[in-house]
Structure 1
Amino acid sequence: MTTRIRTLIVCAAPVLSLVVTAVLAPLPFAVLVPGPTADVLGARRGTPVIAIEGARTRETSGELRLATVVSVTAPDAPVKSSDVVGAWFDEHRAVVPRDGVYPAGKSVERIARHNTREMNDSQDAAAAAALGHLGLSPKEVRVRLTLPDVGGPSAGLMFALGIIDKIEGDGRGGDLTGGQAIGGTGTIAADGTVGAVGGIELKEQAVRRDGVRNFLMPRGQCAKAMAARPEGVRLVPVRTLDDALAALKALRGAGGTVPGC
């Protein structure tokens, strides 16, 4: 072995060590994938997702399917640079800051409680928005929403639509869905304002995987949704609950124009 070769080996060893360390070192990211979709007009584990007391309800057809994402990164598992690079090149995965999924300094139990609180707040807002639209008093009509294993606020829009469908439908004896399966996501405020959600592109993929072709979503996220739109899914952007109801009317073929990004 020549002196030059020995020198190259000696110099390359630290560089190689740094490369290996960089590849194996844990990074502050989490990897998300499309989660299950859930029909808010149906039941989960034998319990209706939407239960209403104090108002007459109706039988519904069709589906209002809320979309979810799930983390494949365990709370205590490191994410390596190789995982991050792989996810960046995989349209079925997304890389997000770890603190957005598992806030630093919080235990798994505290994170679960936080997600549950966000879901409960979302349910309260959905009930307020839906009952307000119907002209009903929350003091007289009680809404109970049950959806195990789903946390966070992004189901609000679909909950509100489900409540309206259960009580009034389209106002003419028919269903909001027109018998179709409609997917959707979006937070909701008590005044009916629809807000942005995380993982919009993965939620598109979730509804497409489950055979849903129309996807209600926050209008403010059109650019991101368009960049990752799966073939065969129509994006239906809305800003408010009233927008969503008008879009469903147009999708039923009952008048109006279906909005698009």
Structure 2
Amino acid sequence: MPRRIATLLTSGLLLLGLLFAALLVKVPYAQMSPGPTVNTLGEHNGVPVLDIKGTETYETTGHLNMTTVRVTGVNYRMSIADAMRGWLSPRAGVVPYETLYPDDRTADEVDQENAEEFSRSQESAKAVALRELGYELESETIVDSVVRGGPAEGELRAGDVILEVDGEPIDEPARVAEVVTRHEADEKVVFTVRRPVERDTEDDAGAAAASDTDDAAEADADDEVVDVTVTTAAAEDDGRAIVGIQAGTAYVFPFEIDIELADVGGPSAGLMFSLGIIDKLTPEELTGGTFVAGTGTIAEDGRVGPIGGVVMKTIAARDQGAEYFLTPEANCRSLRGSAPDDLTLVAVGTLDDALTALEHIRADEPGELTTCED
């Protein structure tokens, strides 16, 4: 066989092998892409995203859209070709697989953690919004989550209000760990908690037949105070006594605020929920009819925290027609040069920064905005 033909044949076989490898060999990466955006001032699947009852609310226009990122599933294994397409696409982000699905947690545990973060962010968003509007809020220490397989599983429940631990009053979540860690492993800790009474079907039917007045008068009777004994275990890292719960804060709100949004996880919508609540509870519209989107966690002191997948979120926002994007200050650097055209990235570090920015937006003063390009 002539050398030239042999060389071409060998090169062709090598190229074919590389093509098969690109399609069949899996790499430890996952992909992010722009996800749905939802107007916190509007409806989602025919239901108001923010359903506020028991106080006066006001009509709103414009948009305050929370944004999401779509990610490949836990069982999806990316090929080399898929990874190359993702790296080359301006509408996709390729990240290490363990960034989304850590090796030490199952897919169910990741989903549960995301759901718990989303729930906590809702409560923080409500509290921050109401405090901004001048409401004084009472708070309680609760069992925020129970570790699967931990000592407290089956004993304490998420949502239990922790009144005392070993007879000592609990006024903040940090006090729970302080009291528990005085013990050694395999010692008993007594939690005094308040939780809803478990009622049978007949009780539920009777309650449904009661009048609204009776329901209000007997609301406290639906809870019971119980003592729960938990045997401590030793923490793997340092051997300290633990019971396997995460203590958190729950607020007592003066009226009902329901955030109706399923199939969303994580804490990144906190800022937009706070702004949506404020808009619905104040006569003046925050946006002046403008399409504003954004992202960012919200801390109880009003600080706005950074999030992941921010580039994909800006693309999703612009696709839906957003003109402005409220961006956590800490995310600005990663967006320089990669944000969509015709989308103004407004840098915010606190809820007050966001409210000030919205003042300039509705007054049509774009030159007064602090942007990520500044």
Same fold (TM over 0.5): yes
Alignment of 1:142-181 (within 5 A): 142-168=256-282, 173-181=283-291
Alignment of 1:19-168 (within 5 A): 20-21=20-21, 24-71=24-71, 73-136=72-135, 137=137, 138-139=251-252, 140-168=254-282
Q: CA deviation at 1:85?
A: 1.2
Q: CA deviation at 1:33?
A: 0.8
For structure 1, which segment, 232-241 or 135-144, has the greater mean C-alpha deviation from structure 2 after superposition? 135-144
In 2: Cα distance, 1:24 partner to 1:155 partner: 37
Q: CA deviation at 1:259?
A: 1.3
For structure 1, which segment, 94-103 or 155-164, has the greater mean C-alpha deviation from structure 2 after superposition? 94-103
Question: For residues 208-227 of structure 1, what are the alpha-carbon distances to aligned partners after superposition, in whole Å with 9 as ceiling and x for unaligned?
Answer: 11111111010111121122
In 1: Cα distance, 2:286 partner to 2:60 partner: 9
Which residue identity lines up with residue 355 of structure 2 in the other structure?
Answer: L
Q: 1:187 aligned to 2:186?
A: no
Q: Is the 8 A contact 2:290 2:323 kept in 1?
A: no
In 1: Cα distance, 2:15 partner to 2:35 partner: 40
Alignment of 1:208-223 (within 5 A): 208-223=318-333
For structure 1, which segment, 148-157 or 236-245, has the greater mean C-alpha deviation from structure 2 after superposition? 148-157
Q: CA deviation at 1:105?
A: 4.9
Q: 1:260 aligned to 2:371?
A: yes
CA, structure 1 residues 18+57, in 2 after alignment: closer, same or farther (shift >3 Å)? same
In 2: Cα distance, 1:253 partner to 1:9 partner: 69
Indicate the structure with greater helix content: 1
Which residue identity lines up with residue 246 of structure 1 in the other structure?
Answer: T
Q: Is the 8 A contact 1:44 1:148 kept in 2?
A: no
TM-score calculated relative to the size of structure 1: 0.88
Equivalent residue pairs, number: 256
In 1: Cα distance, 2:39 partner to 2:334 partner: 25
In 1: Cα distance, 2:362 partner to 2:101 partner: 41
CA, structure 1 residues 5+46, in 2 after alignment: closer, same or farther (shift >3 Å)? closer
In 2: Cα distance, 1:7 partner to 1:252 partner: 69
| RMSD of aligned Cα (Å) | 2.6
Q: CA deviation at 1:56?
A: 2.0
Q: CA deviation at 1:179?
A: 1.3
Which SS does the other structure have where 1:163 is aligned? helix
TM-score calculated relative to the size of structure 2: 0.62
Query: Larger C-alpha radius of gyration, 1 or 2?
Result: 2
4+ long deviations beyond 6 Å:
2-16
Q: CA deviation at 1:21?
A: 3.9
Q: CA deviation at 1:47?
A: 2.1
Q: Is the 8 A contact 1:215 1:234 kept in 2?
A: yes
Indicate the structure with greater strand content: 2
Q: Which runs of 5+ in 2 are unaligned?
A: 138-250
Which SS does the other structure have where 1:227 is aligned? coil
In 1: Cα distance, 2:369 partner to 2:8 partner: 66
Q: Which runs of 5+ in 1 are unaligned?
A: none
Q: CA deviation at 1:7?
A: 10
Which SS does the other structure have where 2:276 is aligned? helix
Q: Is the 8 A contact 1:129 1:191 kept in 2?
A: yes
Which residue identity lines up with residue 369 of structure 2 in the other structure?
Answer: V
